[in-house]
Structure 1
C-alpha cells in the first residue's frame, strides 16, 4: 500500500485511493486555506521569507527501511516487499492514558465503535481516541457548522478542498499554534513528524502560525493511463506529441463498437502544453511582470487542442456530458483506451481487476511537450489535507496528542505503520507469501483513513502484493521528475481577499463550453478583459506585493 499516493488534483481521485489503500493526497488542489500576512491581520495574504523559516520544524529524515527503488529528483521511492522483521520507529508507549475526540471525513461504511482495530491501536498508543467520522461527501457543511460553535473535537481533519467561506477564518481562530512544540529543533522530540518534508510543513502555516499537521503528497499525482493489454492487441504505437495523440484518437475510436480512444484528458492536456492545471492562483513571471494562466498563449493552445479532440469525436460522449464518476468503469470495461486520473487510483484498479480480468494491464503514459519536446510539468502542492488541534487544550494535552500523531506518522516498513494501516495480524490481515492480505473483519474495521488523517509519512509507493506495479509506478514518476519545476508561489498558503473570491469562476464554465464546442477559443479574450476590469489587475498588484515582501516559493 502507499500511505500518500496521490492522487489527482481532485477529491475524486483521493476517494479512489482510500477505497483500497491509505488516504491519499490530492495534488493540485486550490490554495484556499487561511494564512496570513502582517498587513492583513492574519486573515488574508501569505507567510514567507525569514518569518516562514522560523516557524518550520527542522527536517530530520529517517532511514529505517531502505527502498528497493530509490527516489529520483524528488520522486516517490518504491518498496516491492514488506520488510521482515519490521522496524520500530516509536520507543515505548507514547500516550499518558488520555482520551481524545477526533473528527475526520470518511467515505464508505462507518466502522463500529470499540471494535478490535480501535482497541488494538489505542492500546499501542497508550491513550484512547474516540472518532466521530462524518460523511466525506457533505463534510464541508458539517465542518462549517461545527466550527461555528464551541463544541469542537480535540483534533479535526480538514481537506484543502473544504477550506472555503468562513472555515478559513475558523482555522486561525479555533486551532492551536504548534510552533512552540514543533518549530526548529523542537521537532526532534517527534522523529516521525520531523521526517515529514519541509514543503508539507510549509503548507501547514495558517494565519502566520504553524497550525496544521500535514499529509504529504508526491511531486506529481496525475497521469494519462492507457490499456496496454488492449493497445498491444491493436499493434498501437504510443503517441509522443500532441499531433500523434490526436491521430491516435482518430485511428482507434470506433463508435459503432462503442469504443472511444479517450475519456476527458483536460488536466493532462494542460500539462502537455505547459499549463499548471486547476489552479486559479497560478501566476508566472514573464519579463518581470506577473501573468495569470488565463492570459497565456499556452492556455489558449491547450483549449484549442482539447477542442480538436471534441471535433474529431474521439472523446467518449459520457465524458463530454460530465459523467466523470463513471470514467473508471468506462476504462476497465474497454470503452475508453486512455483516461486521465490521479495516480492514487492506479493500485486500486489493478487490485480490483486482478481477479475480474487477469489480462488487465494499466500503464501511465510518459508526458511530453506538445511539440514532442521535453514537457514543462509543475510540481503539485506538497500537502493538501491537514489536521488541527483544538487551541483550548492545555499544554500537556497538546504534547500528548502530538506524541500520538507522531506514532500515526510512522513510515512504511515499521511496526507502527503496519498496525495503523492493516490492524492486527491474524484478526485484520493474514500474511500470504510475505504479503498482508486483509480479512473481512479487516476490511470492515481497519480503516487507516481514521488515524492516518492525523499526519502521515512521506509519500512512497509500496504495494508488496503488486511488486511489478511498484516498479512501473515508481519508474514512471522517476521519468517525469526531471521535467518538474516549482510554480512561482509553490507551497505558499495564500488567501486572496474575499472581493476576488469569484473572479476566476466564469473560466470554469467557459473552458468546458469551448472544449465541448459551445463557444470559440477566441471567446477567452473577452473573458480575460472582463476579468481584468473586474479586479484582475488589482489582484495582480496584490500578488506582486506578496512576491516583493515574501518572495516566491521556488
Structure 2
C-alpha cells in the first residue's frame, strides 16, 4: 500500500511544497468541548463553536477494523504497517457504489503538471466509485489568489478544497456564506451511510465546524511533530559524527562538518526545527496559550521566539548554512541528497521519498531523523498541531444528487489501509499505473504522472504509515513520532476552529519575511523587537482581550 505521512498541523503549505504525499492523521476524542463564542465586531461566524452546540453537529465515530497495524498508535503517532498486504485478497470498504454517476466539479490545489482531464486515473476511479468528476486543478503556489477570486464570484465549483493556510482576509467569512451545512447528511448516525467518513476521528470533524455548521470534510491532522530534522546517517557514520543533543552541540558540530572548499555545508535554514528546539508555540491560533501564571500570551511575546531566531542567525553567521539556502533559492532536499548539506528540516514524507529516490543512484544513501532536544540539552517541549488543517466543502445550492455524489467520492477517498479503494486512490489501476514486484506495487511513468494528490484532497483516513517496499522506514517514522509524542503538550486553543475578527487578519503577516531577513543578517534584533511592539499596538493587545473572552466563556482546549 501507499506511503502516508503525518503532519504537525495537518495539511500545511510546507507539506505540499516538499511532498506529493497526502498528510493525514489525528487522535480521536479526549478533548474538552467548547461552547459557541462570538466577538463584538459583528463579523459573521467570528469565534468558535463547540460544547453542546458542536456535539449535535458531529458525525458518530465508528472505527475501521480493516487491517490491524503492526505498530499501534502511541503518544499520538500514526499507526504503522510493516508487512505486505495480500493484494489478491484486499477488502472492500465500499462494497456497493454510492455514487450515481451524476457529474460535479472539484477545484483543488495541485503541485506539478496536472494530468489530462480524460486520463486513465480519473476515468477508472470514477468507474470504481460511481462518480463523474471534472477536476479543476489549480497551481498550489498561487492557490490562495484563485480561491479568493472564485469565492468572490457568482460561479463556484460544486466542491472546493480549502487549505487551512488560506484562511486569511475575507476567505473565512466567504466560506460560511458560500458553502453548505453538511449536518443534515452527516451528523450523528447519518454518517453511517458513509462508513469511511464515520471512521475519521471526532476531533477532526470538530475542526470542520465553520460558522456554527459542519461545512467541511476534513483531512485529519496529527498532534505529533510533522517537521523532522533529517540528517545523512551514512555520512555521519563514515565521518564518526555524533548526533547533537543541544543547540550548542549542533553549532559546534556544524562548524566541524562544514568545508566550503569541499563544497559541504552542515545544514539548510533550520528555522522550522529551531522553533521546536527552543520550545516555541506554533503559529496561528495555536500560538495563544494561558500560562500557569494566568497570563494569556502569543508566541512572539515569549523569549523563546527571539532565542530561536538568534540561534539560527548564529548558524548563518558561522557560515555553516549552504549559500543557496542563505539566498533562499533552489531545493534543499537536492543539496541534501547530493551531500552538499548534511542536515535539513522537512516533513515526514521525505523519509520515504528520498530513500526510494536514491535507492539506485546512491545505494549507500541513508536518511534518518534526529530526536528533538531542548536548547540546553534536556527534554524538549513540543506542541500539538490541530486535528485538521484542510477541508473539502460543497457549495450552497448544490442539488441533492450532487451532494450525495460528492459525499460518495469523499467516502471512497477516505478508504482505510488494506482496501481495494485505497489501492485505487494511491496507485490507480494495475497494469496501467503500476505493476507488482516482489509483492509490492510499483508505479510506472504513467502512474507517477497521473496518480497525483487529487482524490486525496477530498478526504483521508485516520493516520497510518505503510511502505511495504521499505518497511524499515515505516518503523523508523512511527517510532520517531512515538518518541517525540511523549513530549507533546496542548495549548489553550487546541482543537478549536477559531475565526478571528477580520480587523486583526493581517497583523502577523510581516513576521515570516522579517524572520527570513533577520536570521540571514539583513535585519537587526531591534527590527524584530519593534515589529513585536507594533503588533501589540496595531491590534495584538486587543486580540488578546478577544481571546480572553473566548476562553473565559468556552474553557481551555487542553
Give the deviation of 1:277 after TM superposition.
4.0
Deviation larger for 130-139 or 69-78: 130-139
Deviation larger for 398-407 or 370-379: 398-407
Aligned to 2:54: 52
Taking the TM superposition and a 5 Å limit, the aligned residue runs for 1:290-305 are 290-305=296-311
Q: Deviations over 1:383-412 (max 9, x none)?
A: 222110122123344234212311111011
Q: Is the 8 A contact 2:285 2:493 kept in 1?
A: no
Aligned to 2:537: 533
Alpha-carbon distance in structure 2 between the residues aligned to 1:235 and 1:284: 42
Taking the TM superposition and a 5 Å limit, the aligned residue runs for 1:431-442 are 431-442=436-447
Matched, 1:510 2:514: yes
Alpha-carbon distance in structure 2 between the residues aligned to 1:135 and 1:455: 20
Give the deviation of 1:288 after TM superposition.
0.8
Give the deviation of 1:460 after TM superposition.
1.1
Taking the TM superposition and a 5 Å limit, the aligned residue runs for 1:54-453 are 54-84=56-86, 85-219=89-223, 220-279=225-284, 282-286=287-291, 287-323=293-329, 325-447=330-452, 449-453=453-457
Aligned to 1:482: 486
Give the deviation of 1:60 after TM superposition.
1.6
Task: Specify whether residues 82 and 174 from structure 1 end up closer, same or farther in structure 2 by C-alpha distance, changes over 3 A only.
Answer: farther
Alpha-carbon distance in structure 2 between the residues aligned to 1:520 and 1:137: 30
Q: Could you say what the CA RMSD is over the residues aligned between the two structures, in angstroms?
A: 2.2
Matched, 1:15 2:23: no
Task: Specify whether residues 462 and 115 from structure 1 end up closer, same or farther in structure 2 by C-alpha distance, changes over 3 A only.
Answer: same
Give the deviation of 1:36 after TM superposition.
8.0
Alpha-carbon distance in structure 1 between the residues aligned to 2:64 and 2:362: 39
Q: Is the 8 A contact 1:267 1:278 kept in 2?
A: no
Give the deviation of 1:184 after TM superposition.
2.4
Q: Normalization by structure 1: what TM-score?
A: 0.92
Q: Deviations over 1:248-277 (max 9, x none)?
A: 112111122121111111111110111024
Q: Secondary structure at the match of 1:386?
A: strand
Give the deviation of 1:124 after TM superposition.
1.6
Give the deviation of 1:111 after TM superposition.
1.6
Task: Specify whether residues 82 and 147 from structure 1 end up closer, same or farther in structure 2 by C-alpha distance, changes over 3 A only.
Answer: farther
Alpha-carbon distance in structure 2 between the residues aligned to 1:114 and 1:310: 48
Q: Is the 8 A contact 1:215 1:383 kept in 2?
A: yes
Alpha-carbon distance in structure 1 between the residues aligned to 2:208 and 2:492: 18
Q: Is the 8 A contact 1:275 1:298 kept in 2?
A: yes
Alpha-carbon distance in structure 1 between the residues aligned to 2:482 and 2:137: 36
Give the deviation of 1:552 after TM superposition.
2.5
Q: Is the 8 A contact 1:26 1:221 kept in 2?
A: no
Give the deviation of 1:545 after TM superposition.
0.9
Q: Is the 8 A contact 1:37 1:44 kept in 2?
A: yes
Alpha-carbon distance in structure 2 between the residues aligned to 1:186 and 1:545: 34
Q: Is the 8 A contact 1:157 1:454 kept in 2?
A: yes
Task: Specify whether residues 280 and 188 from structure 1 end up closer, same or farther in structure 2 by C-alpha distance, changes over 3 A only.
Answer: closer
Deviation larger for 302-311 or 418-427: 302-311
Matched, 1:551 2:552: no
Alpha-carbon distance in structure 2 between the residues aligned to 1:526 and 1:136: 33
Q: Deviations over 1:485-509 (max 9, x none)?
A: 1222113222222222222233334
Q: Is the 8 A contact 1:157 1:387 kept in 2?
A: yes
Alpha-carbon distance in structure 2 between the residues aligned to 1:135 and 1:36: 35
Give the deviation of 1:312 after TM superposition.
2.1
Task: Specify whether residues 145 and 301 from structure 1 end up closer, same or farther in structure 2 by C-alpha distance, changes over 3 A only.
Answer: closer
Alpha-carbon distance in structure 2 between the residues aligned to 1:467 and 1:289: 46
Q: Secondary structure at the match of 1:75?
A: coil
How many residue pairs get matched? Answer: 542
Alpha-carbon distance in structure 1 between the residues aligned to 2:153 and 2:367: 47
Q: Is the 8 A contact 1:52 1:202 kept in 2?
A: yes
Q: Is the 8 A contact 1:274 1:369 kept in 2?
A: yes
Give structure 1 stretches of 5+ with no counterpart. 28-34
Deviation larger for 399-408 or 272-281: 272-281
Alpha-carbon distance in structure 1 between the residues aligned to 2:177 and 2:149: 15
Aligned to 2:31: none
Task: Specify whether residues 299 and 140 from structure 1 end up closer, same or farther in structure 2 by C-alpha distance, changes over 3 A only.
Answer: closer
Q: Is the 8 A contact 1:6 1:343 kept in 2?
A: yes
Give the deviation of 1:338 after TM superposition.
0.6
Deviation larger for 36-45 or 268-277: 36-45
Task: Specify whether residues 385 and 422 from structure 1 end up closer, same or farther in structure 2 by C-alpha distance, changes over 3 A only.
Answer: same
Q: Secondary structure at the match of 1:246?
A: helix
Alpha-carbon distance in structure 1 between the residues aligned to 2:261 and 2:450: 45
Task: Specify whether residues 26 and 534 from structure 1 end up closer, same or farther in structure 2 by C-alpha distance, changes over 3 A only.
Answer: farther
Q: Is the 8 A contact 1:280 1:504 kept in 2?
A: no
Alpha-carbon distance in structure 1 between the residues aligned to 2:489 and 2:327: 33
Alpha-carbon distance in structure 1 between the residues aligned to 2:409 and 2:313: 51
Task: Specify whether residues 26 and 321 from structure 1 end up closer, same or farther in structure 2 by C-alpha distance, changes over 3 A only.
Answer: farther
Task: Specify whether residues 512 and 408 from structure 1 end up closer, same or farther in structure 2 by C-alpha distance, changes over 3 A only.
Answer: closer
